[in-house]
Amino acid sequence: MPGIGRYIIENTKQKENHEALKKILAYFVDMASDIEVNGEKVPGWYVSKANQLLEKDRIMFPEGNFNCGLAHGIPGPLSFMALSIQKGIEIPGQREAVLKITNWLMKWKQVDSGWPSRLSFQEVATSKISHSYPKRQGWCYGDPGVARSIYLAGKALGDTAAIRSAVGAYQDIIVEPKEEWELVSPTFCHGRAGLLQMLIRMAKDEENQISVQSIVELVHYIEESYDPNAPFGFRDIESNGEKSHQLNKAGLLEGVTGVLLPLLSLSSVEEPWWDGAFLLS
């Protein structure tokens, strides 16, 4: 739904679109209200066991979870509401919802491991992390996506603490050994191209805060995956921890299109508006 709303932001002159946008915003403002689950007051973006799509998640989170990934969790609605404010579109309670979600995400950032991909019901109810979660510095899950949503929220609200937190997260990422990023694939969703586009955005928005050299090194890291014998030049790599599969895809999310667009963004003199689909701008 945040993605649909982001598309509508670009065409609000039609009355029907503007009304639809307000309904989407109202849905997320309402989601930001607390609810009661198992006798505990928790944020409304709680995902119950029944609504968890993967069986492994239902096993790992028998009482439900709170998703912290940009692609599937609360950072997506946060980015959407923040971008709406920046575009001059807001409804009552929207700023309060943005502030609440921003503060909640900032609360859960761990000093040594960044943001968890998910939090269990018990972790949120007790305000204490007890699981060890895999780390990936991607768009779908990981610090870059979460930090970008916090950055956009900070810009929308004029919250300098949120902006500093987001910029600091990126500065920490670029000094990590690239092996720790866990970005095996060159693609956008869960790979290196997504990180590249987010670094480009942060460098553009916060001049001198993200080193140009880190972007150049990431480009080289993507180029290492180029295979002239592959049908599209780059393959998506999916790993389940035991086996890796190389897949030939042409699409934007997990295919070669999503690899090439960030590379083109580096040489483009025009605003790379396409990444709005990923709630980055």
pLDDT at 130: 86
Residue 193 pLDDT exceeds 90: yes
* Mean pLDDT (whole number) for 182-194: 96
pLDDT confidence tier of residue 15, bands split at 50, 70 and 90 = confident
Task: Return mean pLDDT, the chain.
Answer: 94
pLDDT at 241: 65
Residue 6 pLDDT exceeds 80: yes
This prediction has a pTM of 0.95
pLDDT in tens, 100-131: 999 999 999 988 889 999 999 999 999 999 88
Tokens representing 93? 């309670």
pLDDT in tens, 30-77: 999 999 999 999 999 999 999 998 898 999 999 999 999 999 999 999
pLDDT in tens, 146-156: 999 999 999 99
pLDDT at 238: 86
pLDDT at 61: 94
* Mean pLDDT (whole number) for 163-184: 95
pLDDT confidence tier of residue 276, bands split at 50, 70 and 90 = very high
pLDDT in tens, 237-256: 987 767 888 999 999 999 99
* Mean pLDDT (whole number) for 71-89: 97
Which of the two residues, 241 and 83, has the higher pLDDT score? 83
pLDDT in tens, 254-272: 999 999 999 999 888 788 8
pLDDT at 10: 87
Residue 223 pLDDT exceeds 70: yes
